Structure 1
Amino acid sequence: MHSLISDSISLQIGALQNMQHQLTPTQSEALTTLIRHQTGQIIFAGIGKSGHIAKKIASSIKSLGINATYLHASEAMHGDIGPLNHHDLAFLISNSGETTEILALQSQLKHRHIPIVTLTRNHSNSVAMQADLNLIAGSSIEADPHNILPTSSTTCALVMGDAITIAIANYHAFSKNIFAHNHPHGNLGLHALKPIKTQLKSVPIIDIATPLQQVLSQLLCGHQGCVLVGSQQQLQGLITEGDLNRAISHNPEHWQHIPAKEIMSANPVTLDDSHTVHDAEQLMQQHNINTIVIVYHNNTQHISGVYTRIYRKKI
């Protein structure tokens, strides 16, 4: 059984690698051009398992705040094609490229002068040959022993669909903040847009002359991974566990008496408390740090607290 499972994974990885190798810079540029010219809806259509993939991709694009829809190829022939026009951009998914419903839908889309991108397993099928752009996004070899279950083919379609989603996101200058706004009840939305001041804990504040032996004691008592240097009204520096560990390793015999001012970061990264958790996360990523000192928006020297990756894990 292990061999069967492992082999199925290997077959799907192989299908993805083959798909990647067949994607050319010219195709990527053509896709970018079609995305740039689209001003209406972005449509994804499929039948069966391909339909499920199309529905997922359309849903992902919606989360970008972009007008996208899933179109059932059969239902389209019974009225759902009505609102579509030449401002739209359609993506049709069919592994074989010979699916009757997809061919019928493609014909109707062409009559409406709607640009069409197809996702199929080769460039020689009927759907691909009538498309404005065909992308290899399927496989002739499925991952089951009988080569009949939609596995490698749907994996390829999903991965290519996600790549298309990323290309669309990039063109529309998508951001994590937009995603959070569009997911107000999701985990990201619930937390990323919270005011940063609601996520803070107080940390010990020490004097610049405090010896490191006492700094260690404060770090152990605070359990926040850092201490601040100065006063509540006057931020002078920050000492993290990493700072203290480095000081001890460099001065193993005399570290206890070194004053805090000699190892503190005199200009720690700060953020005022009018910002959100998302803002803090972006700033931490930008500076490659684990701790941000939060100050009051009307007094950037007055300490409100700290936001660290320790807190993020608790959110």
Structure 2
Amino acid sequence: MYSSIYQSISRQISAITEIQRHFTESQYEALITLIRAQSGNIIFSGIGKSGYIAQKVASSIKSTGTNASFLHASEAMHGDIGPLNNNDLVFLISNSGETPEILALQSQLKQRNIPMVTLTQSHTNSVAMQADLSLIAGSSIEADHHNILPTSSTTCALIMGDAITLTIAEYHAFSTAIFTNNHPHGNLGLNALKPIKTQLHSVPIISSDTPLQQVLSQLLSGHQGCVLIGEQQKLQGLITEGDLNRTISSSPHHWQDIPAKEIMSLQPITLNEKHTVHDAEQLMQQQSINTIVIVDHHNSQQVLGVYTRIYRKKI
């Protein structure tokens, strides 16, 4: 079982590497030109598993504030193509590039002079050869040993679809403010721009000579996941539960009397209270940390509290 999972992942990584190798700067410029010329709607279309990918990508683009929708290729031929015009931009997803429903839709799009970008496994299939821009976003080798389950191909389509989403977002100057406005009932939107000062938790500030036995007591009583080390409003360091656990494991017989200064993290990462939750989350991800000390923007030595991942589910 381990081998089959490992091979599946490896095959999909190889497929992604292949579509990256085929993508060129001239294709990027052509894509930007089509996006710049589009003043109507952005439509993604597909059938079967490709259809699910198309729905996801269209939904992601909508969340950036750009008009986008999913068009079912079969339903398009029964009236849903009606609103489309040459101000729109259509993305067609078909791994083989020979899907009958996609070819039928493509014929109608050409009659209406609607620009098309295709996401297929090659430039030589029927769908790709009729496109304004053909992108390699599929694979002839699926991840299963029968080479029939849509796996590598759908992964490639999703990767390219997400890359297109980011390109469109950058062109339209997407921002966290737009994302927040478009997610009024989602945790991401509700919290992204909250001032960090509204999400702070107080933590003990103890002397650097405090023995770890007392540090443990502070950690257990406060449930903050950390304690700060400092004196006379001067922040000197930080001790987290992880720091203490590692020390106890390495010195199980005499850890109690070790002073805090011997294990504290020097110069803990800080932000001031004018930053947002989004800023803090980004910084924690970049630095691979779980706690940020929040200080006053007028006085970097005045600690206001901490923002920590321990409380993320409560925010």
Relative to structure 1, the CA distance from residue 217 to residue 99 in structure 2 (aligned partners, 3 Å threshold; closer, same or farther) is: same
Residue 128 of structure 1: SS of its match in structure 2?
Answer: helix
TM-score by length of 1: 0.75
Residue 86 of structure 2: SS of its match in structure 1?
Answer: coil
Does residue 240 of the first structure (1) align with residue 241 of the second (2)? no
Q: Does the CA contact (< 8 Å) of 1:120 and 1:135 recur in 2?
A: yes
CA distance in 2, matches of 1:116, 1:177: 31
Shift of 1:199: 2.2
Q: Does the CA contact (< 8 Å) of 1:237 and 1:268 recur in 2?
A: no
Shift of 1:177: 4.7
User: Which amino acid is 1:45 matched to?
Assistant: S
Look up the match of 1:18: 18
- Superposed, 1:136-155 pairs within 5 Å as 136-155=136-155
Relative to structure 1, the CA distance from residue 4 to residue 307 in structure 2 (aligned partners, 3 Å threshold; closer, same or farther) is: closer
Look up the match of 2:226: 225
Look up the match of 2:156: 156
Does residue 306 of the first structure (1) align with residue 306 of the second (2)? yes
Q: Does the CA contact (< 8 Å) of 1:43 and 1:70 recur in 2?
A: yes
CA distance in 1, matches of 2:13, 2:29: 25
Relative to structure 1, the CA distance from residue 264 to residue 21 in structure 2 (aligned partners, 3 Å threshold; closer, same or farther) is: closer
Q: Does the CA contact (< 8 Å) of 1:53 and 1:154 recur in 2?
A: yes
Q: Does the CA contact (< 8 Å) of 1:86 and 1:113 recur in 2?
A: yes
Residue 209 of structure 2: SS of its match in structure 1?
Answer: helix
Higher mean alpha-carbon deviation, 72-81 vs 286-295, is at 286-295
Shift of 1:256: 6.6
User: Which amino acid is 1:291 matched to?
Assistant: I
Shift of 1:54: 0.7
Residue 78 of structure 2: SS of its match in structure 1?
Answer: helix
- Superposed, 1:113-124 pairs within 5 Å as 113-124=113-124
Relative to structure 1, the CA distance from residue 281 to residue 132 in structure 2 (aligned partners, 3 Å threshold; closer, same or farther) is: same
- Structure 2: tracts of 5 or more residues without a match: 220-224, 245-257
Relative to structure 1, the CA distance from residue 203 to residue 16 in structure 2 (aligned partners, 3 Å threshold; closer, same or farther) is: closer
Does residue 192 of the first structure (1) align with residue 188 of the second (2)? no
Does residue 74 of the first structure (1) align with residue 70 of the second (2)? no
Look up the match of 1:271: 272
CA distance in 1, matches of 2:194, 2:214: 29
Does residue 173 of the first structure (1) align with residue 169 of the second (2)? no
User: Which amino acid is 2:92 matched to?
Assistant: L
TM-score by length of 2: 0.75
Residue 241 of structure 1: SS of its match in structure 2?
Answer: strand
Q: Does the CA contact (< 8 Å) of 1:229 and 1:237 recur in 2?
A: yes
Relative to structure 1, the CA distance from residue 300 to residue 159 in structure 2 (aligned partners, 3 Å threshold; closer, same or farther) is: closer
CA distance in 2, matches of 1:103, 1:28: 24
Look up the match of 1:213: 209
Relative to structure 1, the CA distance from residue 227 to residue 18 in structure 2 (aligned partners, 3 Å threshold; closer, same or farther) is: closer
Look up the match of 1:31: 31
Shift of 1:46: 0.8
Shift of 1:96: 1.8
Higher mean alpha-carbon deviation, 68-77 vs 169-178, is at 169-178
CA distance in 2, matches of 1:307, 1:161: 34
CA distance in 2, matches of 1:132, 1:182: 31
Relative to structure 1, the CA distance from residue 21 to residue 222 in structure 2 (aligned partners, 3 Å threshold; closer, same or farther) is: same
- Structure 1: tracts of 5 or more residues without a match: 246-254
Relative to structure 1, the CA distance from residue 220 to residue 43 in structure 2 (aligned partners, 3 Å threshold; closer, same or farther) is: same
Q: Does the CA contact (< 8 Å) of 1:219 and 1:227 recur in 2?
A: no
Relative to structure 1, the CA distance from residue 313 to residue 136 in structure 2 (aligned partners, 3 Å threshold; closer, same or farther) is: same
CA distance in 2, matches of 1:177, 1:21: 34
CA distance in 2, matches of 1:151, 1:256: 54
